[in-house]
Amino acid sequence: MISTNDFKTGLTIQLDGDVYTIVEFQHVKPGKGAAFVRTKLKNIKTGGIVERKMNAGEKVPKAHVERREMQYLYKDGEHYVVMDNESYEQTSLTAEQIGDGVKWLKENMNMGVLFFGSSVIGVDIPNTVQLLVAATEPGIKGDTATGGSKPATLETGAVVQVPFFVNEGDLLIIDTRTGNYVQRA
């Protein structure tokens, strides 16, 4: 158990059967009445943000979330098989557990897998990935003055907007948080 007086940004706690990360907190001492803590909590499973007011000194259970470095091996039907980099134990994950990161998965890619007890509650995909352009329309010579963009299909099947000068076979760096093109590798 941890007191609300000991809250820190990034701390994981358990509330109503779910695991939350503290995004923001503020101790408030009104002129009249008891002090309280105003918190902004992020649900680790769903990613939703909840605002909650708690009494100062109130005890809440601390969630012991373990982050393990794992490597994505291959897709087996509906499941994505990952391997623990230390114990070499293999685990199957669903697309729901991985979330939006599914479209950036490339074989032999390292990622962080979050465990609460023995169950997987989330996956941390790297912020940027290097992916090959599988298909895109050829750029038209001299059509770069407007700074426009065109769609490109990557080796993982994801479609991103890229500048006109990008061609098939180019290796690109993509920001996985926004899905935007960063630069050619």
Give the DSSP per-residue string, 104-164: G--TT-EEEEEEETTEEEEEE--SEEEEEEEEEPPPPTTTTTT--EEEEEETTS-EEEEET
Are 101 and 115 in the same domain? yes
Helix, strand, or coil (residue 25)? strand
What is the extent of the structural domain holding 33? 2-60
- Contact of 14 with 41, CB cutoff 8 Å: no
Say if pTM beats, i.e. exceeds, 0.75: no
Binning pLDDT at 50, 70 and 90, where does residue 71 land? very high
Are 50 and 80 in the same domain? no
Are 77 and 44 in the same domain? no
- What average pLDDT does the segment 59-81 reach? 88
Q: How many CB atoms lie within 10 A of CB 77?
A: 6
Higher pLDDT, 47 or 78: 78
* CATH code assigned at 52: 2.30.30.30
Handedness of CA 146, 133, 108, 72 (dihedral sign): positive
How many independent structural domains does the chain possess?
Answer: 3
Does residue 141 carry a pLDDT above 70? no
pLDDT in tens, 1-21: 888 888 888 788 888 888 888
Are 95 and 142 in the same domain? no
- Contact of 74 with 81, CB cutoff 8 Å: yes
Could you give the CA distance from residue 14 to residue 17 in angstroms, rounded to a whole number?
Answer: 6
Are 107 and 150 in the same domain? no
